[in-house]
């Protein structure tokens, strides 16, 4: 074995490799599990006890020598001048720039992080939905305008399969399968049959929140809304709630915040009112709870929903909604 080791040591000193493939072949020949050194290691078990120390040292020396030689050859290949034939002439002469998160993704994550601190977990559902989860379970009347084809994208109209118009469908799916307490937030893309303009689009993004438990009150909802507004827009932000109507909540309200551009003094953005609407909310209608298999005599809950584009506009003053989906690099790189 000593002669074999000496022979390999001499051989290693003369190893050459002109390509990375040849270098990899040398590595496999000497250092792989079935290579020369592994073979010697296996034979080492049969060496006499009085020779183990000497041969063991030589084996370690051989392994180190092989590794050093392969590293040396790799450095030579790395430093080698690249010939014209090996240059990729299709590559741009400019360096590649790292990208950034989309502004909608930035704001969605911030919203989810705020609600996560309140104990809400994220729930998701399908974008192609059925009428029950989008409308019927949420107390929409049979003749509600949202069911019309001019307002909703129906995939299979006869089968009542459609693109969801809000992420409330995720809430109904969770309530059907989960026993209270339920505390979830539902971010996602939704679709409505609207003309595309600077202030509207046929698809956009929502975040909705739901909390169902015993003794949940409107005061609990208001406290969450105050916390969210101050965390999202600053400690000086004020809120106000205006009565409204939604089929799935009763009572219902729309929430305004003090304009973060003028501080509530009045400006063109808030139409000189000092207030900007950001979301709708309310107590979950008892019919919705019963439709989803939750006893409304025992449990109550609140729900709220907001458009991510709307919140992003308030934070970054983006005046044209179409910019969010055009992927213009000049626009996106502003969020690096």
Whether 86 is covered by a domain: the verdict is no
What 3-state class would DSSP assign to 115? helix
Q: Give the mean pLDDT per block of 10 residues along the chain (336 residues).
A: 78 82 84 81 77 80 84 79 60 73 91 94 92 89 70 77 91 93 94 84 92 95 95 91 93 90 76 89 94 94 93 84 84 82
Query: In this predicted structure, what is the pLDDT of residue 199?
Result: 77
Q: Where are the alpha helices (DSSP H) in 215-265?
A: 218-233
Residue whose pair of structure tokens reads 């209270």 in the numeric block = 180
Query: In this predicted structure, what is the pLDDT of residue 84?
Result: 45
The domain in which residue 25 lies consists of 2-80
Our measurement of the distance from residue 9's CA atom to the centroid of its chain's CA atoms, rounded to an integer in Å, reads 54
Is residue 18 within 8 Å of residue 72, measured between CB atoms? no
Residues 165 and 74 in one domain: no
Query: In this predicted structure, what is the pLDDT of residue 249?
Result: 94
Whether 95 is covered by a domain: the verdict is no
Domain stop point among 28, 47, 80: 80
| Number of independent structural domains in the chain | 2
Find, among 52, 43, 57, the residue nearest to 6 by Cα: 57
Residues 239 and 290 in one domain: yes
Residues 65 and 132 in one domain: no
Query: In this predicted structure, what is the pLDDT of residue 91?
Result: 73
Q: With the C-alpha atoms ordered 281, 287, 293, 297, is the resulting torsion angle positive or negative?
A: positive
Letter string b/e over residues 306-324, b meaning 16 or more CB atoms within 10 A of that residue's CB = bbbbbbbbbeeebeebeeb
Residues 268 and 224 in one domain: yes
Radius of gyration of the chain (CA): 33
Looking at the whole model, is its pTM more than 0.85? no
Torsion of CA 85, 91, 93, 96, to 10 degrees: -140
Query: In this predicted structure, what is the pLDDT of residue 69?
Result: 84
Whether 148 is covered by a domain: the verdict is yes
Residues 174 and 48 in one domain: no
Residues 75 and 149 in one domain: no
Is residue 301 within 8 Å of residue 248, measured between CB atoms? no
Query: In this predicted structure, what is the pLDDT of residue 194?
Result: 84
Query: In this predicted structure, what is the pLDDT of residue 149?
Result: 60
Query: In this predicted structure, what is the pLDDT of residue 179?
Result: 92
Whether 90 is covered by a domain: the verdict is no
Residues 110 and 219 in one domain: yes
Residues 322 and 248 in one domain: yes
Task: Assign residue 300 the CATH number of its domain.
Answer: 3.30.930.10
């Amino acid at each position: 074995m000593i002669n074999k080791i000496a022979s390999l040591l001499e051989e290693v000193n003369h190893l050459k490799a002109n390509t990375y493939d040849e270098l990899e072949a040398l590595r496999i020949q000497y250092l792989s599990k079935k290579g020369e050194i592994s073979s010697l290691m296996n034979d080492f078990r049969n060496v006499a006890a009085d020779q183990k120390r000497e041969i063991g040292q030589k084996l370690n020396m051989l392994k180190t020598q092989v590794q050093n030689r392969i590293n040396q050859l790799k450095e030579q290949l790395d430093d080698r001048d690249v010939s014209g034939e090996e240059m990729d002439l299709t590559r741009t002469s400019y360096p590649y720039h790292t990208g950034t998160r989309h502004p909608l993704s930035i704001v969605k994550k911030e919203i989810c992080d705020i609600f996560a601190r309140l104990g809400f977990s994220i729930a998701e559902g399908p974008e192609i939905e059925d009428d029950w989860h989008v409308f019927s379970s949420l107390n929409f009347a049979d003749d509600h305008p949202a069911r019309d084809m001019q307002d909703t994208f129906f995939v299979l109209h006869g089968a009542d399969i459609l693109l969801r118009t809000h992420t409330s469908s995720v809430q109904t799916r969770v309530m059907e399968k989960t026993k209270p307490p339920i505390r979830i937030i539902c971010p996602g893309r939704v679709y409505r049959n609207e003309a595309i303009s600077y202030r509207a689009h046929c698809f956009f993004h929502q975040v909705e929140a739901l909390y169902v438990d015993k003794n949940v009150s409107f005061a609990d909802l208001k406290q969450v809304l105050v916390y969210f507004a101050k965390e999202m827009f600053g400690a000086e932000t004020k809120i106000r709630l205006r009565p409204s109507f939604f089929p799935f909540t009763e009572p219902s309200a729309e929430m305004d915040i003090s304009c973060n551009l003028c501080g509530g003094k009045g400006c063109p953005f808030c139409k000189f009112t000092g207030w900007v609407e950001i979301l709708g909310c309310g107590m979950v209608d008892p019919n919705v709870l019963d439709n989803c298999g939750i006893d409304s005599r025992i449990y109550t809950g609140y729900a709220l929903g907001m458009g991510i584009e709307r919140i992003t506009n308030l934070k970054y003053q983006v005046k044209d909604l179409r910019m969010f989906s055009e992927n213009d690099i000049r626009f996106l790189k502003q969020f690096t």
